[in-house]
Amino acid sequence: MKIYFIRHGETIWNKEKKIQGQSDIPLNEYGRELAYITADALKDIPFDVVYSSPLIRAKETADILVKDRNLEIHTDKRLVEMSFGEGEGESLPEIHAHPEMKLYNFIHNPGIYTPPTDGETFEELYARCKSFIEDIIIPAEKKYDTMLLVGHGALIRGMIHCINHRPSKDFWIVTHKNCAVTICDCIDGKLTLLEEAKIFYHEETQATW
């Protein structure tokens, strides 16, 4: 079975370079455009089953990706973005400029990251990614050939950590732009990364983190 992990399209907070986390921010018009471009690029991929984060930016992206297909979109809370607690809404340029801010290490030194109040640790993110892999992805191999999973930047990085076991210090070795596509195989219960963070649109200035 192949799994296509796709990050949601752009939101106004992406455009304004703000940390989103679990704040429920919808797509902007450009984000919808990216989703339609990506949907067209993947139109010949025969998805059998679709899972999405319940956050509106991911669910709307999933709706666009499967618009003309007779597929139910299953939402799962384990696929929400990593929580940044009271740090959500903070400015990325401010974070980059101030090493004393907690989210500075999330971006620059993830191996020693301590989250803001009410935020998640990497270990908590990995635990729910592993749970989803074990409960949903691996059993699906017996029923389906192709799965679509629509989520978020850090969430997808967490999934890749569970597949490749990269240390947290290498969390951002690859970043996922909006609507970036990552493909994995699941064969005999083992996941293998095939392709990472491919985009299908002409790249404009985009916020990553």
State the DSSP code for 73: E
| Rounded CA separation 125/114 (Å) | 13
Residue 51 β-bridge partners: 74, 149
74 as an active site residue: the answer is no
94 sits in which H/E element:
helix 92-97
**CB-based contact 91:17 (threshold 8 Å):** yes
**CB-based contact 11:203 (threshold 8 Å):** no
81 as an active site residue: the answer is yes
Strands (E), the chain: 2-7, 49-52, 73-75, 146-151, 181-187, 190-198
Q: Which one from 8, 152, 161, 176 is the annotated catalytic residue?
A: 8
> Angle 153-164/122-132 helices, nearest 10 degrees?
70
Cα distances from 124 to residues 95, 118, 138, 164, in angstroms, run 22, 12, 20, 17
> Angle 29-41/56-65 helices, nearest 10 degrees?
40
Q: Which one from 10, 60, 81, 120 is the annotated catalytic residue?
A: 81
Q: Catalytic residue numbers? A: 8, 81
